Structure 1
């Protein structure tokens, strides 16, 4: 015989024993959501591990490595970017000056004194071209005179050997004055736009030349102050910060799952208590 009070008793039991948060979390829907969060957190953890592996240089250059003079083709190839550990590396290069491509770059500092660089295009034996910062002058007039003298003495058929530091392109900049050809940054890309005919590839970095023979001084220029680069820390703190961020994101994925499951549980309790959760 059916108990007429059975539905009411079941309803009373449901009110007396509402689901626990743990029971809600163990339902298939929330187990599937947890699995998705595990995948997302795993991706974030992998990204954090990748950032950490990039944060510490396990093979830093030896102290003084940049002071060993190397052939330029062992350091960088024409058209290639200069790798960070090789910025400031001393190199040796052989080529010939182009008399028509001595140009001036302004806003150059030599031991905190502002002046001008005289630059030239050295054409190497393989027909590639290298921008060379030849020397420094305190005034534009002195730089122009030196450039004219260097151009008059340059022999495109005479090979010269230079040593200096190879430096990354500074990138072009908009001229500050009325002269559209003014250059305030040492950029082989900008120099290329004012050079004449260039038969081969162009090096992306440039060379700050030393003056072992005194040729720069003979032209009325000072040698460019180009000290050895400082040895940086083998730890990249920015990458470590990014790794911490990825760990936080991974933790947030689990918190989001917990918060959504808890909201669903609280909503169910309100519905069992006869409260409309949308009006609460």
Structure 2
């Protein structure tokens, strides 16, 4: 079998089969990624459609962020701290600017919740935080990854990274932030200046079984390509053995006649 498999023709067929397998495996991985993206998108849509609940009922300070809470509408009641931060290099409606993030000390837990109040085009346009007790409503989001690019200017952040904020804002901290959409009592428009609210991201990615089935089909095709190569080698080996047996039989008959 090995001698037949290592014939130049069969080695060339094996190389073709390996290329086909690689292509089919990659196509299967792509379809599986589509399946996961579609499923997560549906999960996020379901989360966004729910009625807002108090943040302390779904999340605890310092706890890991559950993925199913992404975009979940929540409310939080407390008082804002004045130590706002700006996150550089953010986009809104084709413009580059800054996110304005402020600490909200939640009254029921005493922990700080980072609140993305809005978007400004200049870090000098920060509106003051509301005074007194306020209730904010918006979509939850997990903390962003640590910023790996060139360090932003002094006083600015590269991402909403709670591992950085916990060193800046004392006390317990929620491992999440909120895309604020509303606040009560509502702030007068004159106090907001040029700041604009940032919509809660809709999310780009749950699980579609149809696409998953397509992925398994591609992987089955990959296995079939290897199987077909093995069949070709096996059949060729069988033909070689039969031909050798016929030659041996013919030579034996000739010897007997002599």
Distance 1:234 1:242, change over 3 A: closer
CA contact (8 A) 2:143 2:177 kept: yes
Deviations 1:105-164 (A, max 9, x none): 122233332221211122333244322111222212213xx3xx43xx76xxx5432111
Query: Post-superposition shift, 1:214?
Result: 1.3
Where does residue 241 of structure 2 map in the other structure? 268
Distance 1:215 1:187, change over 3 A: farther
Where does residue 214 of structure 1 map in the other structure? 187
Give 1 or 2 for the bigger CA radius of gyration: 1
CA distance in 1 between counterparts of 2:234 and 2:199 reads: 63
Alignment of 1:200 onto 2:172: yes
- The unaligned stretches of length 5 or more in structure 1 are 1-46, 275-280
CA distance in 1 between counterparts of 2:152 and 2:44 reads: 47
1:210 aligns to what SS in structure 2? strand
CA contact (8 A) 1:97 1:120 kept: yes
Distance 1:192 1:201, change over 3 A: closer
Distance 1:243 1:269, change over 3 A: same
CA distance in 1 between counterparts of 2:174 and 2:226 reads: 49
Deviations 1:22-55 (A, max 9, x none): xxxxxxxxxxxxxxxxxxxxxxxxx99xx6xx76
Whose helix proportion is higher, 1 or 2? 2
Distance 1:221 1:77, change over 3 A: farther
Where does residue 119 of structure 1 map in the other structure? 101
Where does residue 88 of structure 2 map in the other structure? 106
The alignment's TM-score, normalised by the length of structure 1, stands at 0.57
Where does residue 254 of structure 2 map in the other structure? none
- The unaligned stretches of length 5 or more in structure 2 are 1-27, 249-258
CA distance in 1 between counterparts of 2:56 and 2:103 reads: 17
Query: Post-superposition shift, 1:175?
Result: 4.2
Distance 1:115 1:217, change over 3 A: farther
Greater alpha carbon shift after TM alignment, 264-273 vs 122-131:
264-273
CA contact (8 A) 2:55 2:75 kept: yes
Alignment of 1:170 onto 2:144: yes
The alignment's TM-score, normalised by the length of structure 2, stands at 0.61
Alignment of 1:81 onto 2:65: yes
CA distance in 1 between counterparts of 2:203 and 2:242 reads: 65
Alignment of 1:229 onto 2:221: no
Of residues 245, 261, 268, the one that matches 2:218 is 245
Distance 1:102 1:64, change over 3 A: same
Query: Post-superposition shift, 1:177?
Result: 5.4
Deviations 1:218-241 (A, max 9, x none): 153523131673898974776344
The number of residue pairs the alignment matches comes to: 210
Distance 1:183 1:241, change over 3 A: farther
Query: Post-superposition shift, 1:259?
Result: 3.8
